[in-house]
Structure 1
Amino acid sequence: MNEKSILIVGGYGVVGGQIAQLLREKYPTLPIAIAGRNLEKATEFANKLNYAKGVELNVVSKESFAQIEESYSLIISVVNDPENYVLDYAIKHQIALIDITRWPEKFHEAVEFIKQKQVKAPIILSSGWMAGLLSLCAKVYAEEFSHVEQININALYSLKDKAGPNSVEYIDQLTKSFTVGANEKKKTVMPLTDPVVVQFPSGYKTKTYRMDTPDHVTLPLMANTDDVNFRITFDNELSMKGLLFLVKTNIWKLISGDRFTSIRRSVLYHPGSGGPHQVVIDIVGTDKTGKAIKREITIFDPNGQTHLTTVAVVLQAIKIIEHPNWPGDLYFPEQFPETFENIRPFVETWLATNKITLTVKDN
């Protein structure tokens, strides 16, 4: 493989496979390696793509990484990296990395891990909701504000959407407090609290509830605001009420731990043939003239959360592929190379090209 080849770890999974296919559409001759524990499955999927091959890789086996023979310019990791072996391999071999797998605790661990290393290629920790796309959009559309008082992100999750098992890992965080905001706005909150009523693009109106994501860390830094809040709800009202009951009565806490993992995940993991993913982002602040403004951004992807995640990951990949001299460092999904111009039109065009509806309305 040539110097521009890409390794997708978890490349034959639900999201990994879609990433590979979208990359192939964008770059018809770009060599792609599909990596996973099952070489037969990896090879079978790679054979459906041109300029692709399968690679056997077990992310929890350090010895497995020693078997990698090719040199890659980019690794896209779409499976959990519990021992940081993928992250460490990318840093040691000076390979750019996009990692979308880390929920807050592992996200913070990765940040500290990277700080101790000499990084010579871009490392993008893009583990926010939908691979950080929502925070990216919030940051882009907050650029015209002179002051951003608050950003609220609300997501409507379809329980019947296509999904891999990693997609519900957040359910293991539902008994842990977390921090939102910074400086005077900093406070500790609990998951599934402080509901707000939101009307989504389809017209569905319901309450959304707090959930911890890395967006609470990255977006305040990038959008220069001390108040960022992420909330979520499900499109199945009965399931949402059931989960609230389990958490509020401490039943969820009683079934925490590895022993009951399968039970917890069975509550919410029922992947189906697909369902739309909907998002409402509110930005509150003042414009350049000092006038108070509230901007609402809505995102509607009829092809669901796995598709929206895929589009977000390939957007991040484009930044690296088309800017090979981007300095090595830790980056978040809201950041672009300094040489990347017209970020807002790029984001809008990329979403529209992939049949994702984005609207912006000022109040």
Structure 2
Amino acid sequence: MGGSGQAGSGAARLLREWHPDLPLAIAGRDLGRARRVAGELGDATAVTLDLERPGLGLPAENAYSAVVAAVRDSHLHGLRYAQERGLPYLSISSGLADIAPEVVAGAQRATAAPVLLASHYLVGLVVLAAMDLAREFGRLDAVRIAAVLDDQDAGGPAALDDLERLSAITSAGLVRRGGAFTWVTGAEAEVSVPSADGVALPGQRVATLDVPSLALATGANDVHFDLAVGATASRRRGGPPSAEVLIDLAGTAPSGAPLRTRHHLVHPDGQRPLTALGIALGVERLLGLTGEPAGPGLHTPEALLDPAVAVERMTAIGATITAA
């Protein structure tokens, strides 16, 4: 779903590269555009979708092995389509603020199929990178994430709609402070976000699934995620927009000595290749193309994916993780 968009088509290209014999169905509202993407991929078909109709308007005889919502499944017809057929389902567009319908639908039919809730920043890759960096700690006390999204790299129309919708739902940020999850608003949610070149941009402490995922996966009692939208360091140097995320970890080493690390996760081509990679990794794991297929129930990226493998794949597509 949304397979002819930036994120969906990018994920499809990665899956084709990794698994040349995997049949793909590129689904979208514009059949011509879907056909162009399918033609470039090879061993792919194009189908039209109606997201507002039960069954998505697809012919009853069509059969698939998974449903990937690379566009917002606002009526949850994509999720129902998957559950009724026992198919794995992945979504990336709900966000923390409006994820409740997906959670309830997944819980109501928990034994029907695996549901991967991946509406994290970069589809969970920041969480996985932080978890990989956390391996050198004996105890992790704080995880502080600061991301810069270039305003010339916010994605296609669907991604822009998601960003506007989630911004309108709440201006509050979700944090874990002293072990308790709490909301911050107003001046407390207004923050300064450092770019990779040290320039500080005005930003917001945001409500994202990364916060509970990082807190519960690492045990850190203090977690927040800050986001600024503006020019990234690469664009200030006259280059194209990049993706920038600062991962700041604090705690103790295995020896018990205090330890703090700060790393920049950067992709020179922006957020699009990383978003596509997050989707492709999730699909690969759901289908059991690497390892065992995911079991029924609700899942998040860090529950299914190996952080070290995710970092290896990030590096393979041009991302870097360097000490700040």
Superposition TM-score, scaled by structure 2 size: 0.87
Once residues 56 and 167 of structure 1 are traced to their aligned partners in structure 2, the CA distance between those partners, rounded to angstroms, is 20
Compute the displacement of 1:44 (Å). 2.7
The one of 128, 131, 137 aligned to 2:129 = 137
Compute the displacement of 1:39 (Å). 2.3
Could you tell me which residue of structure 2 aligns to residue 297 of structure 1?
Answer: 263
Structural mapping, 1:245-264, within 5 Å: none
Structural mapping, 1:246-325, within 5 Å: 275-320=241-286, 321-325=289-293
Could you tell me which residue of structure 1 aligns to residue 235 of structure 2?
Answer: none
1:42-81 deviations in Å (ceiling 9; x for gaps): 2232112210010111122115345253322222211111
Once residues 118 and 251 of structure 2 are traced to their aligned partners in structure 1, the CA distance between those partners, rounded to angstroms, is 26
1:212-269 deviations in Å (ceiling 9; x for gaps): 11212322222222322111112349xxxxxxxxxxxxxxxxxxxxxxxxxxxxxxxx
The one of 269, 275, 300 aligned to 1:332 = 300
> Unmatched 5+ residue regions in structure 1?
1-8, 238-272, 338-342
| Worse-matched range after superposition: 122-131 or 315-324 | 315-324
Once residues 62 and 11 of structure 1 are traced to their aligned partners in structure 2, the CA distance between those partners, rounded to angstroms, is 19
Structural mapping, 1:163-182, within 5 Å: 163-168=155-160, 169-174=162-167, 176=170, 177-181=172-176
1:125-165 deviations in Å (ceiling 9; x for gaps): 11100111111212232244332211111111111126112
| Worse-matched range after superposition: 194-203 or 221-230 | 194-203
**Contact in 1 for aligned 2:97/2:207 (Cα 8 Å):** no
Provide the aligned length of Structure 1 versus Structure 2: 313
**Contact in 1 for aligned 2:214/2:223 (Cα 8 Å):** yes
Could you tell me which residue of structure 1 aligns to residue 49 of structure 2?
Answer: 57
Once residues 284 and 171 of structure 1 are traced to their aligned partners in structure 2, the CA distance between those partners, rounded to angstroms, is 33
| Worse-matched range after superposition: 84-93 or 115-124 | 115-124
Could you tell me which residue of structure 2 aligns to residue 85 of structure 1?
Answer: 77
Once residues 118 and 105 of structure 1 are traced to their aligned partners in structure 2, the CA distance between those partners, rounded to angstroms, is 22
1:165-196 deviations in Å (ceiling 9; x for gaps): 23232333446235422675332212784455
- Give the share of equivalent positions with the same residue, in percent: 26
What amino acid sits opposite 1:71 in the alignment?
A: A
Superposition TM-score, scaled by structure 1 size: 0.78
Compute the displacement of 1:303 (Å). 0.8
SS at match of 2:32: helix
Once residues 164 and 251 of structure 2 are traced to their aligned partners in structure 1, the CA distance between those partners, rounded to angstroms, is 32
What amino acid sits opposite 1:330 in the alignment?
A: L
Once residues 259 and 217 of structure 2 are traced to their aligned partners in structure 1, the CA distance between those partners, rounded to angstroms, is 19
Cα distance change, pair 307–55 in 1 and its aligned pair in 2 (3 A): same
**Contact in 1 for aligned 2:121/2:208 (Cα 8 Å):** yes
**Contact in 2 for aligned 1:36/1:57 (Cα 8 Å):** yes
Could you tell me which residue of structure 2 aligns to residue 356 of structure 1?
Answer: 319
Once residues 108 and 11 of structure 1 are traced to their aligned partners in structure 2, the CA distance between those partners, rounded to angstroms, is 24
What amino acid sits opposite 1:316 in the alignment?
A: G
- Is 1:40 equivalent to 2:35 in the alignment? no
Once residues 11 and 75 of structure 1 are traced to their aligned partners in structure 2, the CA distance between those partners, rounded to angstroms, is 11
> Unmatched 5+ residue regions in structure 2?
233-238
The one of 189, 208, 216 aligned to 1:221 = 216
**Contact in 1 for aligned 2:147/2:193 (Cα 8 Å):** no
Cα distance change, pair 73–297 in 1 and its aligned pair in 2 (3 A): farther
- Superposed CA RMSD in Å reads 2.5
